[in-house]
Structure 1
């Protein structure tokens, strides 16, 4: 296991603890982690290392920024994936994001089924989607933010990152 994965794992462990405690991932964690990834790659790989880290940082940031605009994740998650990308590169952070979204969907489905709110939530989404298509207004998935299902995204990120590591290591 390389230094980049160990550094990323330490960063993710700290992010998991803060996200579980407060449902937030603070800047004082994400920004130093992203800078740390850039510095490690600059020292170990020179200009190629810097380009590798910047490509990963940009990929992670842009992928999650789109999800942030849709109302699916918080701003801390955007910076979290920028940090993951700075440590591990574009391919790894892309895979991690895909797996994390898949795990988040499964976790969300289990929570909805557990609370027995599946029909109510599906009806609300279909109603909002219908209004969006007919009147072309607003984001149908962002309506009723206060009633939206919320859980710490790090609960899905950890298995997503582990899955990406296993997939890319094979």
Structure 2
């Protein structure tokens, strides 16, 4: 239940300000640490460290491209800290699928699917030719290209719980 509250608050913060406050992240990580230690003793501390590190390692390239925010990665770490590896894995996979659906819907709604795919193609070409990972171009379309990934994480977590239990 505490995970749902944390993720709800994070999504609300993200929608309102475009950021997820570190105080909320710290609260979730502290809760996860205590849950893991209470469940498995000091071995739980190792499980906690492993589970919170996995999202950072998996999502680092997306962060470098500015395709995923630090707060989103930290939210995945909070889930990993509180829950087991199975829930974390399901949440990450489902969240990216939900985000893809949100992005597709938004591009169809704004009638910019073709232009965004062209931008993606140029970006991938640049990465392949230069072997560098520049910031993903946002274009001149204001905030039409932005989705609140925390919403996808919230939905992904709910679905992961439903699938796992």
Instruction: Say if 1:30 and 1:79, in contact at 8 Å, map to a contact too.
Output: yes
Match of 2:108 in 1: 113
* Whole-Å separation in 2 of the counterparts to 1:64 and 1:127: 22
- Kindly state the Cα deviation for residue 45 of structure 1 after the two structures are TM-superposed: 2.4
* Whole-Å separation in 1 of the counterparts to 2:19 and 2:30: 20
* Whole-Å separation in 2 of the counterparts to 1:42 and 1:62: 23
Which of 133, 141, 144 is equivalent to 2:137? 144
- Kindly state the Cα deviation for residue 149 of structure 1 after the two structures are TM-superposed: 1.3
Q: Deviations over 1:15-37 (max 9, x none)?
A: 11111111111111101210111
Q: What does 1:61-140 correspond to in 2, within 5 Å?
A: 61-133=56-128, 135-139=129-133
Indicate the larger mover: 101-110 or 117-126: 117-126
Structure 1 residues 143 and 13, CA gap change in structure 2 (3 angstroms): closer
SS at match of 1:145: coil
Q: Deviations over 1:15-66 (max 9, x none)?
A: 1111111111111110121011101221232123323322221223322333
Match of 1:161 in 2: 157
* Whole-Å separation in 2 of the counterparts to 1:44 and 1:59: 20
As a proportion of its length, which structure holds more helix?
Answer: 1
User: Which structure carries more relative contact order (alpha carbon 8 Å, separation 6+)?
Assistant: 2
TM-score (structure 1 length as normaliser): 0.84
Pairs aligned (count):
162
Gap runs ≥5 in structure 2: none
